Amino acid sequence: MNAPQRASACESLRRLGGRWLPPVVQAAADLLLPPACNFCGRSLERPGSQPLICMECRDAFLAQIGPSCPRCAAPVHPFEVGPDCPRCRKRRYAFHSALALGIYRERLREAVIRMKQRLHEPLTISMGHLLAESMSEAIQQERPDLLVAIPTFWLKRLRRGVNGPDLLAEAIGSTLSIRTARRLLYCRRSTKKQGTLLPVERLRNVRNAFGVRKSYDLADCRVMLVDDIMTTGATASEAARTLRRAGASRVTVLVVARGVGADQRGLGH
């Protein structure tokens, strides 16, 4: 059994145990399939507690945390912290602010790439818990009423078998006790892969691509959008515009990684 398969089996048992099995059976499950880091596969000294990421990988992910633009989450020089930055100053966003765990490079880049695959669902869940744990204060300062994942078109979801942002939002919500509205926002149509398009093409690609289900009342609601990566911000901005038209009073964005350079090609939103 390779590391991703082992992690998937462990997560399946752990989910089952959390819902139906008593603690003694959960402990037996940990002995049968000892928890391992969901990124590198290294055995963990403290079993059963999320995020299931070893200290070495955790330090590598968190090493990127530094001063960032409060509007677009791009990294900035400590002396340049202000309401925006040169990267976003001339751009129009429908969201009010953005938060990111780090920059889309090195191990964080590899984690985001893996999170696109169903086999790595346990990694996605662990990254959601790490995001909530590491950025708890910043998230709570936004006082979100709801967490809403960036959706994907139903056919793409059927092919992939999972929508990673849904798993991220659920992990964050369970850690910070914030309600997650999984079916609130939906994708109206299939769009091209944003990472293959120029910035101006990305805006056209996602224009009017989202909708809000009528069963939800967003009047004066503070919504936090959750995604794995943000590059130009076109997808997040269009989703935020849709939510604000439906009545949301404030929309912020929370992502695992912020793409800022050549490495963003192929995956960016």
Q: Which two tokens stand for residue 250?
A: 């404030």
- Residues facing 250 on adjacent strands: 222
Over residues 2-44, the pLDDT tens digits come to 555 555 555 554 554 443 345 555 455 555 567 899 999 998 8
Q: How far apart are CA 133 and CA 53, in angstroms?
A: 12
pLDDT tens, position by position, 163-201? 999 999 999 999 999 999 988 999 999 888 887 788 788
- Kindly report the three-state secondary structure assignment for every residue of the chain: CCHHHHHHHHHHHHHHHHHCCCHHHHHHHHHHCCCECCCCCCECCCCCCCCCCCHHHHHHHHCCCCCECCCCCCECCHHHCCCCCCCCCCCCCCCCEEEEEEECCHHHHHHHHHCCCHHHHHHHHHHHHHHHHHCHHHHHHCCCCEEEECCCCHHHHHHHCCCHHHHHHHHHHHHHCCCECCCCEEECCCCCCHHHCCHHHHHHHHCCCEEECCCCCCCCCEEEEEEEEECCCHHHHHHHHHHHHCCCCEEEEEEEEECCCHHHCCCCC
Rounded CA separation 211/169 (Å):
18
Q: What is the CATH number of domain 67-264?
A: 3.40.50.2020
Q: In the predicted model, is pLDDT for residue 77 greater than 90?
A: no
Domain ranges in the chain?
1-64, 67-264
Global pTM reads 0.85
Distance CA 187, CA 221 (A): 20
At residue 16, the pLDDT reads 44
Q: Kindly report, residue by residue over 86-127, the tens digit of the pLDDT.
A: 989 999 999 999 999 999 999 999 999 999 999 999 999 999
Taking the C-alpha atoms of residue 168 and residue 126, their distance in angstroms, rounded to an integer, is 8
Asked whether residue 67 carries a pLDDT value surpassing 70, the answer given is yes
Average pLDDT, the chain: 86
